[in-house]
Amino acid sequence: MESLHSVNNIKMMEVIDVNMGAKLGFIKDIKIDCDNYKILSILIPVQKNSWFSKLDMLEIPWDKVVKIGVDVILVDSDSSFSDNM
């Protein structure tokens, strides 16, 4: 049976890389293809080590999401993700 999640519920889940076992953070935004009604990617803020740097975003393609659990989202980092914005 397929489970459904709201955007607010997904944004409260922590994203974890299954290959490194590392916590990547929480979802800040989601890219959606409105024409085809599909999620394209999730965006996670990445803090740089500087006081004056802007907040960069780590973009993870939706096809790299392995599993959405009760309180975590597991992603596969086999290929590198891109830093955006």
pLDDT tens by residue, 2-16: 677 777 788 888 999
Per-residue pLDDT, averaged over 17-24, amounts to: 91
The pLDDT value given to residue 16: 94
> Residue 28, by phi and psi: left (phi above 0), alpha (psi -120 to 50) or beta?
alpha
pTM reported for the whole predicted model: 0.76
**Residue 80 banded pLDDT, cuts 50, 70, 90:** low
Q: How far is CA 60 from CA 8, 51, 52, 77, in A?
A: 18, 25, 25, 9
